[in-house]
Amino acid sequence: MGDQGNQSIESSTAHRYTAELAGELETRWQRVWDERQSFRQPNPGEDGFDASRPKYFCMDMFPYPSGAGLHVGHPEGYTATDIISRYKRMNGFNVLHPMGWDAFGLPAEQYAIQTGVHPEITTKKAIDNFRRQLQRFGFSYDWSREFGTIDQDYYKWTQWIFLKIYHSWFDPEANGGVGCARAIDELIEEFKGGKRPVKLNPAAAEYAGAGDLPGGTDAGTWDALDRETKKAIVDSYRLAYLSQQTVNWCPMLGTALANEEVIDGRSERGGHPVLRKPLRQWMFRITAYADRLLTGLADVDWPKSTKTQQAEWIGRSVGAEIDFPILEGGVPMGEALRVFTTRPDTIFGATYMVVAPEHPLVEYALDMPTPETDESKLREYVQTTRNRSDVERMENKEKTGVFTGLYVANPVTNDPIPVWTADYVLMGYGTGAIMAVPGQDQRDWDFAKAFDLPIVRTVTPPDDFDGEAYTGDGVAMNSRFLDGLEIEPAKRKIIQWLGEHHVGARKVNYKLRDWLFSRQRYWGEPFPIVFDERGDHHAVSEQTLPVTLPPLTDYEPEVSDDPQPLLAKAIDWVNTTAGDAGVEGMDPGAPVKRETNTMPGWAGSCWYYLRYCDPKNPDRLVGEDAEAYWMGDNGVDLYIGGNEHAVLHLLYARFWHMVMHDLGIVRTREPFGKLFHQGMITSFAYQRSDKSLVPIDQVENRGTDEKPEFIETATGEAVQSITAKMSKSLKNVINPDDVIAEYGADTFRLYEMYMGPLEATKPWNTRDIVGLFRLMQRIWRLCVDEATGKLHFAESADEAVEKQLHRMIAKVGSDIEKLGFNTAIAAVFEFVNLAKSLTRDQMDRFVRTIAPFVPHAAEEIYSKLGNTQSITHADWPSFDEAMLVDDEVEIPVQVMGKLRSKIFVAPDADNKTMEAAALADERIRELIEGKTVRKIVVVPGRLVNIVAN
């Protein structure tokens, strides 16, 4: 001891677990795993595939590889899936754990506009950087399955699926009334053979509310029809169709956006204003699947909130469609105004009608004005509302509207009802027309008050009701044959009446609209579609795929009110021939123009899970055996990603999957059996009293850690510490590379998993990381002699340590299954707190237990133990149930429900023994002295409560 100089002190810690040591061993093992292809998972039929093992398909939502690189939010979910994947491998599963890149999209293109560098170059660079960063975490991805949505042999199949959808229609009668997708050729055969009445698809959204009401008009015999009519009819059935319609046009982004991409009248990306503008666009008839998308939610293990969000987005509501005959000079002129209502029982209170400004009846009123029509006022109103952006609509909810001069007859009373137009009625929902019942609807009430229209109550409000419109329960009044009925029976009775008089019927309506699928940007999948000289669309043949994206010289979108898609600039590419484009059934020399729209970013993410199953397959989007094996009965076994995709991506992917299911391409009904959302990682920031935020480098703490006083340096004002999203402007962004450099990847992984429940939003607290680094040091020291770097062992197994080891193995295993990683790590802490040294055998089990969390350190110790195989495929340690039970347990004793003492009994002690022990306790005897014991509650192995007073 005495001669221990500085030198020997240094050498006594030469093999301490430091950031340098962590960095060295982590990168070393990452190289080894890469060389040995430790995480490669063969497919059925390939060498090394073990068919006796069960499968586990564990998947992350793949990232958009932005130029900024990984942020700390990415590795949160990725660490979770990595732990699960490693745990499952150790439990004998074949694990499919892939990673890829969602690489088409706006940011790379915006960057290309600024710099002129092709998006493909910047995107590939960003991918390389992402891959490097992810590999530094030691994630056990099977990198041999990696692909990006921009790869030609991937988007070839994205285009292929588009064609499948394009060549399909939805038969609502098929599949026992559930409805399913069928080939469009079968539809044409049925038309030809007279098996199906030839008419426009009654469910086609692009015809709803148009002048000629669909549904009714029979077009006659197929062969007698001209080419245009045939085409219009077939297109009205296609699941992918072109539609001239009002879209959300974002001039700054130079593209149309889906409803879901518009938030409060601004673009989700960038927050630019969005206008409504008519454009010809590709649409998916997702509304045909509304019911199946809704009912399918019952079959998947998803967070309740996500199911609710999807259900509300689909927005099923049951009501009735009712025809109100249009009057001309007070008599019906033969046509009717059709409305949808959820409250047909209130029809006697319909004092006016409202149609959307885009409704054809408004056009009709302008063409055929009545003496009461104020033409100029009406025309002006339609113009203003059309140009009114969504932002303005949001800001001003005052009711506006104009009387059209038209009247319809109430089909129940024959009374004339004035028809108004107002922008509070939306063309996109129902029929774009309503019967207004101000007595029972607050919006109608507000409108009626604003324009002095009559109000009739048809449901009796309670005596103490002093509100305006009454929407609650009650019996019908002022409603002739409905009077006295509660709402539900009244609805049934009126629907029956309407049916009998052929003026209405029960109808289910959905909020869900068809999916706007084209964008006017460059960096996306081209459509496999060309147009002939007449403007008719033709599919490119499957053999010609992929239709590759042509290079452009500039990517600048034109800021224009009459925008052309960027691809229109690729003139040589656009103008081709049917033969070169690969269109079958056309004269090969016929000139055609390619579709210049591109697909939206969602396209590639709609089916990537399938490609992971068989990423290199040149003949099929996924081989049948691979799909059958990996997708199994319930699809992806665990899918982890942010809840910002609760509706968009997850709904679209389900829709594609359902179509592919119907067409026999995939087996499962749903793509993602179990879904989980990791929470957001926030950061600390400071807030002034006016709620504005202050960057963290402009604030200092002039108090203590325990009683902090945060002061804005520049002003001396007190500011409050809050949690906020990480953002460059607040300077509170944490860079994962820095954290790994300071502590190593294992510590980083532990910290993110220990912060709190995976699903919770949690603040990043730099101060807390050191606790997990200390855990790594203690784990290391428990196994490795810091002076020599060699393992050191206990000579014999300590009984308490052995017991705790069994407990830890049991707890960590069950917590991983529950995704309870924070409590699993707490169990590791408890073990390390107790264990001072381990036998060789204990150490072996210990490192196998922590391997899913800290794979590098575990692998290092495991190899020092003499194992030549990677810990990746080691067995998960077993535990003995008997070791989880104590010889003696501490039992709280309560008197009147308050804890008063503790006794020690055998864990399986019976009630009598426990009761006796409790009553024998000195403290308890004192407390119940002189009182009457009314009752003694004994919970075996748990507690004793004595009721005495």
Instruction: Pick out residues in 728-787 that bind RNA (CB under 7 A).
Output: 754-757, 760-763, 765, 767-768, 770-775, 777-778
Q: Which stretch binds RNA (CB under 7 A): 110-118, 396-404, 633-641, 709-717?
A: 396-404
Q: Which of 343, 537, 611, 806 binds RNA (CB under 7 A)?
A: 343
Per-residue binder mask for RNA (CB under 7 A), 503-542, x = binder: ------x-x-------------------------------
305 binds RNA (CB under 7 A): yes
Nearer to RNA, 95 or 417 (CB): 417
- Give min distance, CB of 72 to RNA, in A: 14
Structure tokens at 145: 């399955």
* Residue 818 CB partners (closer than 8 Å, separation 6+): none
Q: How far is the CB of 167 from RNA (least distance, A)?
A: 30
Nearest distance from residue 23's CB to RNA, in Å?
16
Between residue 800 and residue 839, which ones bind RNA under the rule CB under 7 A?
814, 820, 822-823, 825-826, 829-830, 833
With CB under 7 A as the contact rule, the residue among 246, 309, 634, 867 that binds RNA is 309
The answer to the question of residue 12 lying near RNA (CB under 7 A) is no
Using CB under 7 A as the binding rule, the residues of this chain from 654 to 683 that contact RNA are none
User: How buried is residue 9: exposed, middle or buried, by Cβ count under 10 Å (0-12/13-18/19+)?
Assistant: exposed
Q: Residue 171: enclosing H or E segment and its boundaries?
A: strand 168-171
How far is residue 542's CA from residue 279's CA, in Å, rounded to a whole number?
Answer: 28
Report the C-alpha gap between 411 and 403 in whole angstroms.
20
- Shortest CB 446 distance to RNA, Å: 7
Is 491 in a helix, a strand, or coil? helix
Nearer to RNA by Cβ, of 254 and 360: the residue is 360
CB 142 within 8 Å of CB 41: yes
Using rule CB under 7 A, residue 434 touches RNA: yes
Shortest Å distance, C-beta 890 to RNA? 4
Q: Check if the beta carbon of residue 875 is closer than 8 Å to that of residue 90.
A: yes
Q: Quick check: 470 binds RNA (CB under 7 A)?
A: no
The token duo for 445 is 């009430």
The pair of three-digit structure tokens given for residue 290, joined into one six-digit string: 């509304």
**With binding defined as CB under 7 A, does residue 426 bind RNA?**
yes
Name the segment binding RNA (CB under 7 A); options: 78-86, 161-169, 405-413, 931-939. 931-939
Cα 514 from Cα 533, distance rounded (Å): 28
Alpha helices by DSSP H, listed for 560-692, are: 571-574, 578-581, 602-605, 608-612, 624-631, 648-662
Cis? peptide before 273, omega within 30° of 0: no
Asked if residue 705 binds RNA (CB under 7 A), the reply is yes
Binding mask 155-194 for RNA (x = CB under 7 A): ----------------------------------------
372 forms part of the interface with RNA (CB under 7 A): no
Q: Quote helix, strand, coil % in the chain, to nearest 5.
A: 40, 20, 40
The answer for residues whose C-beta is within 8 angstroms of residue 532's C-beta and 6 or more apart is 538, 578, 586, 590, 591, 592
69, 202, 296, 315: which one binds RNA (CB under 7 A): 315
Q: Least distance (Å) from RNA to the CB of residue 623? A: 37
| Smallest separation (angstroms) from RNA to the CB of 77 | 16
Using CB under 7 A, pick the residue from 44, 369, 428, 550 that binds RNA: 428
**Residue 386 within binding range of RNA, rule CB under 7 A:** no
- Say if strands 275-284 and 515-516 run parallel, antiparallel, or are unpaired: antiparallel
When asked if residue 798 is in the footprint of RNA (CB under 7 A), the reply is no
Shortest Cβ distance from residue 772 to RNA (Å)?
6
Nearest 5 degrees, angle CA 103-CA 105-CA 111? Answer: 100
Residue 512 CB, nearest approach to RNA (Å): 8
Which two three-digit tokens encode residue 498? 């309407």
Confirm or reject binding of residue 429 to RNA (CB under 7 A).
Answer: yes
Three-class SS of 51-89: CCCCEEEEEECCCCCCCCCCCCCHHHHHHHHHHHHHHHH
Considering the complex, what minimum distance in angstroms separates the CB of residue 28 from RNA? 23
**Binding span for RNA by CB under 7 A among 111-119, 310-318, 372-380, 578-586:** 310-318
- Candidate list 423, 637, 859, 860; residue touching RNA; CB under 7 A: 423
Q: Which is nearer to RNA, 198 or 784 (CB)?
A: 784
Q: At closest approach, how far in Å is the CB of 881 from RNA?
A: 12
What CA–CA distance (Å, rounded) separates 336 from 908? 79
**Residue with Cβ nearer RNA (571 or 933):** 933
Phi/psi at 363 (5° precision): -55, -45
Residue selected from 125, 443, 667, 688 as contacting RNA according to rule CB under 7 A: 443
Q: Which stretch binds RNA (CB under 7 A): 453-461, 596-604, 607-615, 898-906?
A: 898-906
Considering only residues 623 through 652, tell me which ones interact with RNA, judged by CB under 7 A. 643-644, 647
Q: What span, in angstroms and rounded, lies between the C-alpha atoms of 341 and 320?
A: 6
By the rule CB under 7 A, 856 interacts with RNA: no
Q: Give the integer Cα–Cα distance in Å for 486 and 476.
A: 6
Q: Which is nearer to RNA, 541 or 894 (CB)?
A: 894
Q: Does 223 bind RNA (CB under 7 A)?
A: no
At residue 587, what is the residue type?
D
Our finding on whether 413 is near RNA (CB under 7 A) is no
Name beta bridge partners: 324: 337
890 binds RNA per the rule CB under 7 A: yes
If binding means CB under 7 A, how many residues of this protein chain bind RNA? Answer: 86
Which of 480, 534, 898, 912 forms a contact with RNA (CB under 7 A)?
Answer: 898
By CB under 7 A, tell whether 701 contacts RNA: no
Hey, is 226 helix, strand or coil? coil
Helix or strand (DSSP H, E) at 158? helix 152-166
Question: Roughly how many angstroms between the first and final C-alpha of the chain, as a whole number?
Answer: 66
Of 306 and 520, nearer to RNA (C-beta) is 306
Strand-strand pairing, 529-531 and 537-539: antiparallel
Which residue, 203 or 943, has its beta carbon nearer to RNA? 943
How far is the C-alpha of 60 from the C-alpha of 39, rounded, in Å?
Answer: 16
Measured between alpha carbons, how far is residue 698 from residues 415, 686, 767 in Å?
71, 9, 19
Beta strand extents in 61-160 (DSSP E only): 94-96
